[in-house]
Structure 1
């Protein structure tokens, strides 16, 4: 305490030569004795007033004096030193005065201290209040009290930050700040401030009652209905809801109050169009999803309407929780649209392949993406009706229909070949060796079961990488479309032949296993230094080892297995869509590491594709064919190998020669998508047969460019014709100038309205611009901004709508674009929202 007394006295002596100190309670003598101030003479009043006056005015007119009296200040008529006292300063040594002096506040603000003594008994609180005063001095007692509220709540200063902090405590089941306000005598002041700012009136104000009223009022206002609180409350609610720091508290209270306010019951009769832009309660998202699923299942909603709703819900607070649900709905919509536009017929095998790689593959892809996001969402029941609709249409209207048509073409074949399309057995000669003929090094990545449609998505991911480009072409796999034959066909080969156990030989050498494949790779070109290894082993290499691998080898074959290892097991086949996502991520990383190791010619291909249906198969999807012949050596879900096999109804027979293979074995392939019954084997993920999904495989050629070629989409502000804000809110449209593509990537922006000095005067919106549509209208995002009371200070001035972008991962932002408005509106106690 003595330190505070000395500090207070020092401040007074900076402006005055003489300071009086009256110890009214006669309890400050020890503190007086302890005071030591350089250059200040300490004297006492003890029936010596005349002598003191003579000394300080005549004898020592330049000396500083601290004049102490042990007792209260005399009445004015009895105060012999009154003229001297009025011309100098009086030090009040009671606690309230000391604190007032510490804050540097004038005496008229004494009530802000004396009425709230408990607040100042904490040095930490006092220091925080002093810092706030230093930053922005108060101009009234109320201003000091507002800062005291902020200190009690651990807030930044303004009333809205106090409310946000109290909502955070409420969500955690705590009330320390409210109890501190009460002990400090600030409760009545707090509720008066809340009433003035937000229109909350109650005979017995309670903070949880205020919180419930806040949720209820903002929900009603969002629906265009009357709310008990005013527009400023809506602005505070929006800011709090959209602030990531308050996300947990908002979610906790929202989930609690949606039951109290009977939101689920209220939503039952609401139309989806009035809910699209509201996210006050999680139940709103669930209701929107239910409506979408129901309407999509019954096909009573257009694809455009669904995609518009999904696009708008990306701005919902709850979107991260339901992102996979919305993604699933979006992919299901695109699937239905693509299927409705497809004509699943062909007049030749070449036409069938062309149409598949041009458009039909997209239906497989959209189905896979739907299943993946449905599984990832964990909301199978919520999406149940939609899954049934998609699954039925995929299986019956696409998978079966397109492959029945394809089977008609396969049935006419004498040899397994499609004119105009490369054969897998010629891959090394036509693709890999092409680089060696130019004395360039090449790396081939063989990803087991990398279906064409998965490779097409991988193509787009690789093209997103800066300075990378890629192209995709189809190739026809060997038949049967299974691993051992496909892997062998991709090597240099001569006299490929099936063995009795479904193994494959080339150059008379078994092709099973990495070491055997490396031996066969050595037959490609005399003098080539070759290496075959697992992709995982390459990824585990240090950077220098990778560069040494490039230096010491001309041809590198990397074997990657993510899809087949999961899909080809009964216990894990239902996770194949997840495995496809992992495969794309793996291959993208693999490409980046290869280029770091100096490999610039990269080919990605597959041994075969696959069929996949998520639901367990119906009896009708199993083949009734009963293969027979002299000797059945191998029987798989999708093929039979044997000697002297008979022509069998429901199956297509090929001799080894017709398949381009050596030996005297025969092969039977079940028609279309039918599976043979094999005990213990998986049936949903299969390959080995002749469907388009199994035999049309990718050749993905990856290259590196010298210059950077990846940027972000541009976002523009479409403002009203009059650049005028005349009410408490303003609506604009934000336009994404280009669709997101591999080389034009998404942009995340923070949008708000600011004064010329940079003060935020509206709510802020965190926005992601990732629209892929070619239709410009579908890349517009309407946004409504609510002005705060802070905007009053800038009326009749220019203000700016700014779109700001984070600088890297820092806390700093830079302007992406801005638009000038003039703020010209009548001031109102309640903003006219």
Structure 2
């Protein structure tokens, strides 16, 4: 400001009306930089006396204003900087009525504009970074942070945060600079810092936080230093033996927090991955880890290469038949909450189900020696079926991995799959089906079925004919029993319902024409053979899809057949019109069989799709049709194994003269035929002159064409046992629901603190938690996020995730979780409250807030930027 402008401003001040009860005005012109000392004598304001304070007249000035002349208006020019309150001669003058200050220097004006106190350290910063403060926009940005600026270091942090366009938090500023690029010459934020001469302050900040220091500092080296130092928390130091220059052990806590915060940030996570992969490649991290014992790095998550190394070691062990099921399951469960699990979930899922297959193998070595077919049927329905589920989910994981190529893991996963194939195909199927064929063969040859079992041919008679309410029947082609069990469990969890899981003995041959016919109303089935093509008749009526509604209407004229694929395309009113006034509604669904008869490789993925679609269909029936009673079943099951079949697994067509129809798993022949290596099975449609046959165990009949891996038509338990799910929807007003709400209402399990202490005395500490109940029909798994906050709600620790999905009925200790927390760098007051937050991620449970105290003997964060 020039002298004229200053004089104008001073005139305005003195001309302003005095407040009530004030009789004069004193304006103290503060000019510690003494910029206007030579001009003060030229200042003249009408009716205002001018005093100039010097080192020698302080007493005189104070005496004049406070005692000698208490009536006149005064302009007091003060070019002196007082170093302490005791030395400040104008403190008492400021207490006089009508006293106010005035500043005319650029620094004072800018400090005032930013809403900051005008004292020497701040003035020094404004001068030091005057290029930064030249722009009004930047001063306005600083003003927004003024309530957080209470020291010189915070002021400098504020400048850096404005340049980086981020929060005024040291770690966040460092992160934003690194994010802008590892090459500092191309890094836009760093170049801005250099432009405003604050780059040295940035490197001091980085040094105080991470310990990184270099004569010619590099952003890339800074990131490497933070990354490797953080990794020491969970990777043995020997892995980085030749990289000591990057490691700063005293700053491990800061570095660990820095990395954890970054990889938990969904917006920035991918950039971290990109940078960390670049560093990992430069230091050959994957090769280092492959040479290191797994226990020395299995809990780390700073690099994707850690997951690759863990997975390679586990899969290689499996391929070499080194399968410690307990260890495998524990590692997979621990990795589920790690940062990069999603990128490798199919590999982890494959390992998990391989471990479950091996666990089943270990527990059932002596299981396949039953002497009664009914008992083996029961064992399969209650227990053995789960091996089919494990194998299905292993193979699904394998197939999913093939769509996301990983050079390091693909081959070893395929080698591990051979071990899974050996357990499932060569042990489970061979032993189970050999036992079944041996004990069921006589009944199957004599009757075509096993007496005393629920039979598919009786379905309509037993479940539909005498029903007192509208019945919906869903028939999903080739939905085998174990898939039905999974569907029933999900319906129990997701719907308000009663669900009963049963099974029926399918009709031989277990192919669609026979199975679909068995589910219709009839007195008897028969076979019509035309041009070597089998047609199944119900009471002399053809049972192809276009005839089924006619057959249903003969039993109940208020019947209709629908197709799922057609139904879901319709509007609600169109759908409702189709079932209005009907007593029996058959809905046909074909997802699994359709996929199986393609390449076959998609059949297990199709099982997942089928489960989702069938749940959707149940919702349509309940919501759009107001349906209550639903039966869900299938025409037949299937067998599927992944590896190609050898010639030894194929049965040659010897003695097949007079064959009427031949599939991979069945043959219908004239009664004169005597085929080699096949079991005789009576055809339930008792046609004279025809005999049925099936391969034993897991064999296939040799024939032209594909489709040798996915098969059905035979008498294996996987083919013959079809699911029967009885679903009853419970309306809120129903008596059953009202009396048993706790039984039917599905809720997430809860997580409780098991540790008794509510006092924290270390920056890194462990805690134990307990899953309140095991996962069951109406208690579903829950994901929890846990962290500590201060009394103002600011997060003071890293986040810990717990997946509470334990369902071990016999061992309560299985529901215990031990986790570690890391407090962020800072000073903690033992008298202040701190809180553990337990957040259930689906928000079905209210957040839990548990008070703790923190008493750490030695304060942390004594460095300027972190205090």
TM-score past 0.5 threshold? yes
Shift of 1:405: 1.8
* Larger CA deviation: 309-318 vs 734-743: 734-743
Partner of residue 172 from structure 2, selected from 161, 170, 185: 161
Cα distance change, pair 495–234 in 1 and its aligned pair in 2 (3 A): closer
Q: Which of 158, 163, 185 matches 1:152?
A: 163
- Post-superposition Cα deviations, 1:541-581, rounded to whole Å, max 9, x if no partner, equal 33334444443210000000000011013xx2111111111
| Corresponding residue to 1:218 among 222, 226, 230 | 230
Structure 1 position 382 matched with structure 2 position 395: no
Match for residue 30 of structure 1?
none
TM-superposed CA distance for 1:509, in Å, is 1.7
Which is further off, 413-422 or 473-482? 413-422
* CA distance in structure 1 between the aligned counterparts of 2:777 and 2:848, rounded to whole angstroms: 21
| TM-aligned CA deviation for residue 272 of structure 1 | 1.9
Q: Which residue of 2 is the match for residue 346 of structure 1?
A: 370
Does residue 759 of structure 1 match 2:794?
yes
Q: CA deviation at 1:471?
A: 1.5
**Is 1:502 aligned with 2:534?**
yes
CA distance in 2, matches of 1:171, 1:469: 59
Confirm whether residue 180 of structure 1 aligns to residue 192 of structure 2: yes
Deviation at 1:755, TM superposition (A): 2.5
Q: Secondary structure at the match of 1:697?
A: strand
Of stretches 441-450 and 460-469 in structure 1, the one that deviates more from structure 2 is 460-469
Match of 1:580 in 2: 607
User: 1:814 and 1:350, CA in 2 relative to 1: closer, same or farther beyond 3 A?
Assistant: closer
TM (normalized to structure 1)?
Answer: 0.86
1:552 aligns with 2:581: yes
Aligned counterparts of 1:421 and 1:121: Cα–Cα separation in 2: 90
Q: What residue ranges of structure 2 are gaps of 5+ in the alignment?
A: 20-24, 52-63, 81-91, 238-243, 403-408, 731-736
Residues in 1 aligned to 2:215 and 2:669: alpha-carbon distance in whole angstroms: 91
Q: Give the match's secondary structure for 2:215.
A: coil
Report the Cα offset of residue 54 of structure 1: 5.9
Q: 1:410 to 1:245 in 2, by over 3 A?
A: same
CA change 1:736–1:655 in 2 (3 A) is: closer
Which among 334, 338, 342 is matched to residue 320 of structure 1? Answer: 342
Task: Verify the 8 A CA contact 1:573 1:684 in the aligned structure 2.
Answer: yes
Partner of residue 698, structure 1:
723
User: Residue 628 of structure 1 corresponds to which residue in structure 2?
Assistant: 656
Report how far residue 411 of structure 1 moved. 2.9
TM-score, normalization by structure 2: 0.83
Give, in whole Å, the separation in 2 of the partners of 1:309 and 1:84: 73
- Distance of 1:66 and 1:682 partners within structure 2: 103
The corresponding residue for 1:270 is 292
- Structure 1 equivalent of residue 151 of structure 2: 140
The structure-2 alpha-carbon separation of the partners of 1:548 and 1:179, relative to structure 1 and needing over 3 Å to count, comes to: same
| 1:689 and 2:714 matched | yes
**Residue 705 of structure 2: aligned partner:** 680
1:269-668 → structure 2 map (5 Å cutoff): 269-342=291-364, 343-378=367-402, 380-413=410-443, 414-435=446-467, 438=468, 440-500=469-529, 501-513=533-545, 515-525=546-556, 528-569=557-598, 572-596=599-623, 597-629=625-657, 631-656=658-683, 659-662=684-687, 664-668=689-693
- Contact 1:443/1:557 (<8 A) preserved: yes
Q: Following the alignment from structure 2 to structure 1, what is the Cα–Cα distance between the partners of residues 376 and 754?
A: 46
Alpha-carbon displacement from aligned partner over 1:251-302 (angstroms, at most 9, x marks no partner): 1111111122331232133222232211111111111112222333334342
Worse-matched range after superposition: 645-654 or 140-149: 645-654
Change in 2 beyond 3 A, CA 1:202/1:496: same
Q: Write the deviation string for residues 52-105 of structure 1: whole angstroms up to 9, x where unpaired.
A: 5369999xx9999999x9xx999xxxxxxxx999975333253x4432221122
**Separation in 2, partners of 1:210, 1:441:** 71
Q: Could you tell me how far 1:798 is from its partner in structure 2?
A: 3.8
In 2, are the aligned partners of 1:164 and 1:246 still within 8 Å (CA)? Answer: no
Q: d(CA) in 2 for partners of 1:639 and 1:553?
A: 38
Alignment check: 8 A CA contact 2:659 2:673 kept: no
Q: Report the more deviating stretch, 204-213 or 618-627.
A: 618-627
**Is the alpha carbon distance of 1:565 and 1:121 closer, same or farther for their aligned partners in structure 2, counting shifts above 3 Å?**
farther
* Distance change >3 Å, CA 188–CA 47, structure 1 → 2: closer
**Cα separation, partners in 2 of 1:137 and 1:467, compared to 1, 3 Å:** same
The reply on whether 1:110 has 2:109 as its aligned counterpart is no
Per-residue deviation, residues 636-686 of structure 1 (Å, max 9, x unmatched): 212222333412221123454xx2434543322222222112211310001
Secondary structure, in 3 states, of the residue corresponding to 1:266? helix
Alpha-carbon distance in 2 for matches of 1:258, 1:830? 33
| Alignment partner of 2:101 out of 89, 104, 121 | 89
Change in Cα spacing, 1:483 to 1:98, as seen in structure 2 (3 Å) is: same
Secondary structure of 2:708's match? coil
Deviates most, 645-654 or 457-466: 645-654
Aligned residues: 781
Deviates more, 1:319-328 or 1:756-765: 756-765
SS in 1 for 2:368: coil
RMSD over aligned CA atoms reads 3.6
252, 269, 273: which one aligns with 1:251: 273
- Cα distance, 1:807 vs structure 2: 7.1
2:248 corresponds to which of 210, 222, 228? 228
- In structure 2, the CA distance between the partners of 1:654 and 1:26, relative to structure 1 (3 Å rule), is closer
Q: Distance in 2 between matches of 1:467 and 1:11?
A: 77
SS in structure 2 opposite 1:323?
helix
Is the Cα contact below 8 Å between 2:760 and 2:852 reproduced in 1? no
Work out whether residues 725 and 825 of structure 1, in 8 Å CA contact, stay in contact via their aligned partners in 2: no
Inter-partner Cα distance in structure 1 for 2:154 and 2:797: 22
CA distance in 2 between partners of 1:542 and 1:17 (Å): 83
Contact 1:717 1:819 in 2 (8 A): no
